[in-house]
Amino acid sequence: MKKIILGLLLISLAFMFTGCAPQDNKKNEADVLIVGGGGAGLVAAIEAAKTGKKVILVEKMPALGGNTIISATGITASDTIYHQESGISFTKEDHYQRTMTTSKNLANGDLVRILVDESASAVLWLKELGVNLKVRSEAEPFWLVPVEGHYGAQLVAAYIQEANKYSNLEIRLNTKANKLIVENGVVVGAEVTDNDGTYNISSKAVVLATGGLNNNPEMIAYYNAKYANIHTQMTTPGATGDGITMALEVNAELVDMEFFQVRPLSSNGNWYHERIISTEDLSGILINKEGVRFTNETAAPRTVASEILKQSDALAYIIFDQRVYDAHADAKKAFTIGRGEKADTLAALAALIGVDAATLEATVTSYNEGEDAFNRTALGKVIEGPFYAVKTLPSNHYTMGGLKVNELAQVINKSGQVIPGLYAAGEVMGGLYGDGRVAGNNTLDDIVFGKIAGFNAAQ
C-alpha cells in the first residue's frame, strides 16, 4: 500500500512539474548542469538559476524526488525560529557536538561547522517556500517535523514549485547522465541518454547530486563486504551510485565509503526499531529459515544486519509474543507493514512461515530457559500467545561516504586538488557523517550544500 501511495505521489509530482521550462533538446548548452533531481539537485538548480545563468537539470527517472521524497520524519537544525518560539533549546554547539560524536569523530569538522551554521537559515528558507515545521519534543529537540502531512513529499513539492519560477532553469526527466566530459582537465559537461538517444550537454560546471548507493547492492558489497546481499527495501530506484562511478572516472577522491547505515529490521519500504528484539524481558528473537537462532539480537544494528545477511536467502524472521506486540509500537508496525503472520501456537506459526515446527519450538523453549549461545545483553521471553512472525530483509538506509569535497562543494581529486568544474551535494557527497549520521541532517545537507554547490557552480 505504501508503495502504491508513493507511486501516485511521484506521478502527481511529475505532472506538477510540467509547468517548468519546456525541454529543448537542440540547445544542449548551459552554464550549470545539475545531475539528479532529488533534494540536493533541485536546491542546487534553484540557487544556480537565481544568479540568472542558464541551468539544465537532468533526472534519469520519470519523476523528480529521489530518496528525498521518501524522507519520513523531518530535518535536524539548531537555534531556529522554532526553537525560539517553543522555548526548547537545541544550540549550534549541541548540533555540532551531536553530529561529530555520532560520526565517531570521523566527520570533517569544517564541513560540519558549515552545515550547523547554515541550518537556521535553511529552515527559514523552507518556511518561505511554505514548509512549516515544529520542534518534535523536549526529548528530541534536534528534530523539526512538519506541522502536518508527509515531510519528504512537502519538501519536493516546495522545491518544484520554486524551480518552476525560473525560466532559465530547464529540467529534463528520463535523462540519465552517463559520463562526465573533460577538456584540458576541466569538467565541461556530461554525456546523457534519453528516450531518443545519447547526446552531450556542455556546461561551464557540473553539480553531481545523484544520491547514495542504496539501490546498488553490488556496489555496497564492494565497499563493505559485510553487507553483501543487502536488500533494497528502503530506497527509490535511482540511487545506484552513478555519481560516484562518473566521478571516479575523472580521478575523484572518496571518503568513508565503508560506512553505511543499515537497518536489520526492514521490509516493504520501512524499518522497525531494534528494541523489538533487544529490550530486557519484552523482546523477541531472530530465527533463520531453518528455524534456529543465529546471532546476538542485542548487538549493534549493523552487526545484526550483517549476521542476517549470512543466512539462507539473506533473511530472518522476527519472532515475538503478544506482550511484545502490546509493548512496542514498532512491533505493531512490523506486523502490519511487514505483513507478518500470527498464530495461537508456535507450531501453527511455524507452518505459516514454512519453518519446521519442532525446530521452532525447540529454539524458543531453550531460549526461554535462558540458553543463549550468543551472549545477549538483555534476554526476552517468547511465552504468551498469540505468537507473531515478521520476515525481515536488512536494507541500507543511508550511504555515509562519498565524494571528497571542500567548503565550496568542489570535488577533490586523488592528489588533493580541486577538479575544476565539478561540484557535489547531497548523499553523493562524503565528509559529513563518518561512521554515523544524525537523522535529519541529510535533508539539511541537501539544502546547505545544494545551495553552496549551485551558487559556486554558477560563478
Ligand X SMILES: Cc1cc2nc3c(=O)[nH]c(=O)nc-3n(C[C@H](O)[C@H](O)[C@H](O)COP(=O)(O)OP(=O)(O)OC[C@H]3O[C@@H](n4cnc5c(N)ncnc54)[C@H](O)[C@@H]3O)c2cc1C
Using the rule CB under 6 A, which residue among 71, 233, 266, 311 binds ligand X? 71
Q: Rounded to an integer, what distance in angstroms lies between the CA atom of residue 49 and that of residue 43? A: 10
Closer residue to ligand X (CB): 194 or 361: 194
Using the rule CB under 6 A, which residue among 46, 58, 171, 287 binds ligand X? 58
Task: In angstroms, give the least distance from the CB of 355 to ligand X.
Answer: 29
Q: Rounded to an integer, what distance in angstroms lies between the CA atom of residue 159 and that of residue 125? A: 11
C-alpha cell at 321: 509474543
Distance of CA 380 to the CA centre of its chain: 31
Q: Which residues of 407-424 are buried (b: 16+ CB within 10 A; e: fewer)?
A: eebbbbbeeeeebebbbb
Span between the terminal Cα atoms of the chain, in Å: 45
Using the rule CB under 6 A, which residue among 131, 177, 282, 308 binds ligand X? 177
Is residue 176 close enough to count as binding ligand X by CB under 6 A? yes
- Stretch of residues binding ligand X (CB under 6 A), selected from 132-140, 223-231, 238-246, 305-313: 238-246
C-alpha cell at 384: 504468551
Closer residue to ligand X (CB): 151 or 325: 151
**# binding residues, ligand X (CB under 6 A):** 41
Task: In angstroms, give the least distance from the CB of 79 to ligand X.
Answer: 18
Using the rule CB under 6 A, which residue among 10, 45, 67, 419 binds ligand X? 67
What residue type is 212 in one-letter code? G
C-alpha cell at 293: 537462532
> Residue 145: which H helix or E strand, with range?
strand 143-146
Is residue 262 close enough to count as binding ligand X by CB under 6 A? no
Is residue 73 close enough to count as binding ligand X by CB under 6 A? yes
Strand partners, 21: 170
Using the rule CB under 6 A, which residue among 141, 146, 238, 431 binds ligand X? 238
Using the rule CB under 6 A, which residue among 402, 426, 431, 436 binds ligand X? 426
The helix/strand/coil state of 74 is coil
What residue type is 267 in one-letter code? S
Closer residue to ligand X (CB): 159 or 320: 159
Task: In angstroms, give the least distance from the CB of 99 to ligand X.
Answer: 12
- Stretch of residues binding ligand X (CB under 6 A), selected from 277-285, 303-311, 370-378, 439-447: 439-447
Q: Rounded to an integer, what distance in angstroms lies between the CA atom of residue 439 and that of residue 417? A: 31
Is residue 112 close enough to count as binding ligand X by CB under 6 A? no
Q: Rounded to an integer, what distance in angstroms lies between the CA atom of residue 115 and that of residue 429? A: 13
Site for ligand X in 13-42 (CB under 6 A): 35-41
Closer residue to ligand X (CB): 35 or 360: 35
Using the rule CB under 6 A, which residue among 323, 397, 404, 451 binds ligand X? 397
Q: What is the dihedral of CA 48, 50, 55, 56, to 10 degrees?
A: 90
Query: Any idea which residue has 552554464 for its cell?
Result: 31
Contact between residue 198 and residue 191 where contact means Cβ atoms under 8 Å apart:
yes
Is residue 74 close enough to count as binding ligand X by CB under 6 A? yes
Binding site for ligand X (CB under 6 A): 35-41, 58-61, 66-68, 70-75, 151, 176-177, 209-211, 234-235, 238-239, 242, 397-398, 426-428, 439-440, 442-443, 446
